[in-house]
Amino acid sequence: MSILEISSQLINVLVTVEDEIALVKINRPKALNALNNDTLSDLNKIFDCIAEDDSVRGVIITGEGKGFVAGADIVQMQGYKSIEGRKYAALAQMIFNKIENLEKPVISAVNGYALGGGCELSLSCDIRIASTKAVFGQPEVGLGVIPCFGGTQRLPRLIGSGIAKELIYTGRQVKAEEALYVGLVNKVVEPELLIEEAKNMMKTILKNASLAIGFAKVAINRGLEMDIDNGLELEKDMAALSFATDDKDEGMRAFVEKRPAVFKNK
Ligand code: DAK
């Protein structure tokens, strides 16, 4: 099904595509875009569709209103016992893995509260750009639970275990400037420039060969889970794959001919 067809079926997510970039906006502002089952299901459908659609080469995720995503839906979770809770966590983890493993660049444009599952959603993206209004945090222990949409794994890998443990144990909220300082975000911009900045960064990325970006993403993500020798083996393999592409021929020919490369993503 096309993105257009899927988007008409979504309940809490809006999707537009422009310049080969899909803008995925979580649209449940009354609950600060908290991730209930409908919203997770929407994200699942749209990322399946984006993975298959060659006309989309990059993705930006953002939120409508003053929240990016204020976490898992506490109202919905309140009624869950262990088994339902596990299923809920499994669903969210599966979708966030899908986002992390998508062989296309994904930027989260964090417009406001990114708490709990919202912080974890942004962690599954390749790059985070925050507005000055963004607020990050993992408040789960204050609810008697622990982060389980990937936070205990991705946060320490991104910012180191010391700061990650502090944030997870205290549950304190971190404003954009501090998030930048600890390496949780790549950049902070004024709210009105957030989407423009994310699009500009994505356009810069997409000037390059998409297959190569996808191969680099696999090498980085998988390599982080390996020792360096195995990581370097994987790097060689992914580099060998890039040498098999038409874009490699074009990129190197264009350099020699002193002209810009025209990539065909093949
Ligand atoms: N879930 C449901 N509704 C939420 C929500 C959430 N996470 N966050 C906000 N809302 C709703 C509020 O209830 C309120 O609804 P109404 O009262 O208007 O009906 C509306 O959004 C606006 O929120 P506030 O009125 O509170 O707005 P404020 O500006 O005053 O405060 C805030 C903004 C973000 C500081 C505050 O809303 C807040 O503290 N929200 C909760 C943040 C949070 O704790 N997020 C959840 C993190 S835990 C699992 C284990 C753990 C988890 C999941 C699964 N398993 C074992 C399966 C945990 C995951 C998490 O994400």
Q: Is the pLDDT of residue 123 over 90?
A: yes
Fold of the domain spanning 210-256: Lyase 2-enoyl-coa Hydratase; Chain  A, domain 2 (1.10.12)
> Measuring CA to CA, which residue among 73, 10, 74, 62 is closest to residue 37?
73
Q: Which of 18, 20, 140, 192 is catalytic?
A: 140
Kindly report the pTM of this predicted structure. 0.97
Strand partners, 135: 113, 175
Q: What percent of the chain has pLDDT over 90?
A: 97
Q: Which CATH number fits domain 3-206: 3.40.190.10, 3.90.226.10, 3.30.1330.60, 3.40.190.170?
A: 3.90.226.10
* CA 33, chain centre distance (Å): 16
- What residue spans in the chain does CATH classification 1.10.12.10 cover? 210-256
- Which whole number is the average pLDDT over 84-101? 95
Q: With 90 as the cut, is the pLDDT of residue 233 above it?
A: yes
Q: What is the DSSP annotation of 21-88?
A: EEEEEE--GGGTT-B-HHHHHHHHHHHHHHHH-TT--EEEEEESTTEEE--B-HHHHHT--HHHHHHH
Would residue 116 be called left, alpha or beta, if left means φ above 0 and alpha means ψ between -120 and 50 degrees? left
Q: State the Cα angle at 195 between 193 and 196, rounded to 5°.
A: 60
Place of tokens 């997409």: 206
Let me know: does 123 contact 143? Beta carbons within 8 Å. no
Confidence at residue 97, expressed as pLDDT on a 0 to 100 scale = 98
Q: Give the mean model confidence (pLDDT) for residues 61-79.
A: 96
| Ligand 1 center to 45 CA (angstroms) | 24
> Counting beta carbons within 10 angstroms of the beta carbon of residue 236, is it exposed (0 to 12), middle (13 to 18) or buried (19 or more)?
exposed
Q: What residues does CATH 3.90.226.10 cover in the chain? A: 3-206
Q: What is the mean pLDDT of residues 39-44?
A: 98
Question: How does pLDDT run across 146-186, given as a tens digit for each residue?
Answer: 999 999 999 999 999 999 999 999 999 999 999 999 999 99
Catalytic annotation, pick one of 18, 84, 120, 190: 120
The answer on pLDDT for 32 being more than 90 is yes
**Quick one: average pLDDT of 9-26?**
97
**Mean pLDDT score of the chain:** 97
How far apart CA 238 and CA 216 sit, in angstroms, is 7
Q: Which atom of ligand 1 is nearest to the CA of 73?
A: 1
Residue 264 scores a pLDDT above 90: yes
pLDDT digits (tens, 9 = 90+) for 53-69: 999 999 999 999 999 99
In this structure, the residue with its CA closest to atom 27 of ligand 1 is: 32
Contacts of 11 (CB under 8 A, 6+ apart): 38, 39, 41, 42
Nearest CA to ligand 1 atom 10: 31
Using CA positions, which residue lies closest to atom 11 of ligand 1? 31
Pocket of ligand 1 (CB under 6 A): 31-32, 34, 70-75, 77, 85, 88-89, 113, 115-117, 139-140, 143, 145, 148
Average pLDDT over residues 68-76: 96
Query: What's the pLDDT at 4?
Result: 87
The whole-number average pLDDT for the span 109-138 is 98
Among protein residues, the one with the nearest Cα to ligand 1's atom 15 is: 31
Q: What per-residue confidence (pLDDT) applies to 92? A: 97
Could you tell me the distance, in angstroms and rounded to a whole number, from the CA of residue 92 to the centre of ligand 1? 16
* pLDDT tens by residue, 130-155: 999 999 999 999 999 999 999 999 99
Catalytic residue flag (residue 84): no
Average pLDDT of the segment spanning 104-111:
98
Q: How much is the pLDDT for 1?
A: 84
User: Is 140 designated active site?
Assistant: yes
Q: Compute the average pLDDT of residues 107-135.
A: 98
**pLDDT at residue 222 above 90?**
yes
**Helix 246-256 / helix 228-243 crossing angle, nearest 10 deg:** 80
